Amino acid sequence: MSQVIETVEVNVPVQAAYDQWTRFETFPRFMEGVELVEQRDDTHTHWQISIGGRHREFDAVITEQIPDERVAWKSEDGTTHAGVVTFHRIAPQRTRVTLQMDTAPEGVVEKLGDKLGLVKARVKGDLRRFKEFIEKQGAPPEGGWRGEVRPGRGKVAGDRPEHPRGTT
């Protein structure tokens, strides 16, 4: 198991950074190797990714979500990983975003890439591209999901908008 922790500061309010992060379908626009993310319901996503030239698909479940604070997830099948992203207000227009991810590289190529620091470099690049994306865009369009998911209790608050997590 490999652990990566990376942080970036973005020049947007915490709510804008959080709302954009919960729009999972936009991840291919700033995450290297992410081809598609489908929001199945409030807590389930389906991913299509490419790592080292290999195509993978897996499902993930959101295990905790607190608006403007954190989103945690874990894979349910396929590739093994779990993570949490946290949002910290630094100033009214500045937010620190910290991503912590645990992954289990599969196969010789992924294990070698992990040892060479490629996973960490990819995450660092993804956060840099998130910063560029959110600062260029500003506040995401209306419709971000503001509900809560608590560990062991599932969805506890918030209604799903007309389109899951504002995918208009």
Domain assignment of residue 38, yes or no: no
Query: What is the chain's Cα-based Rg?
Result: 15
SS3 25: helix
pLDDT tens, 64-100? Answer: 999 999 999 999 987 788 999 999 999 999 999 999 9
pLDDT tens, 26-65? Answer: 999 999 999 999 999 999 999 998 877 788 899 999 999 9
Domain assignment of residue 53, yes or no: no
Domain assignment of residue 94, yes or no: yes
Domain assignment of residue 75, yes or no: yes
Q: Give the Cα separation of 81 and 61 in Å (integer).
A: 11
Domain assignment of residue 40, yes or no: no
SS3 141: coil
Q: How far is CA 49 from the centre of its chain?
A: 13
This prediction has a pTM of 0.85
Domain assignment of residue 27, yes or no: no
**Residue type, position 2, single letter:** S
Domain assignment of residue 31, yes or no: no
CATH of the domain at 99: 3.30.530.20
Look at the chain and report how many structural domains it folds into: 1
Query: Range of 86's domain?
Result: 2-21+63-140
Q: Give the Cα separation of 142 and 52 in Å (integer).
A: 36
Q: Give the Cα separation of 147 and 145 in Å (integer).
A: 6
Q: Find the helix or strand (DSSP H, E) in which 33 lies.
A: none
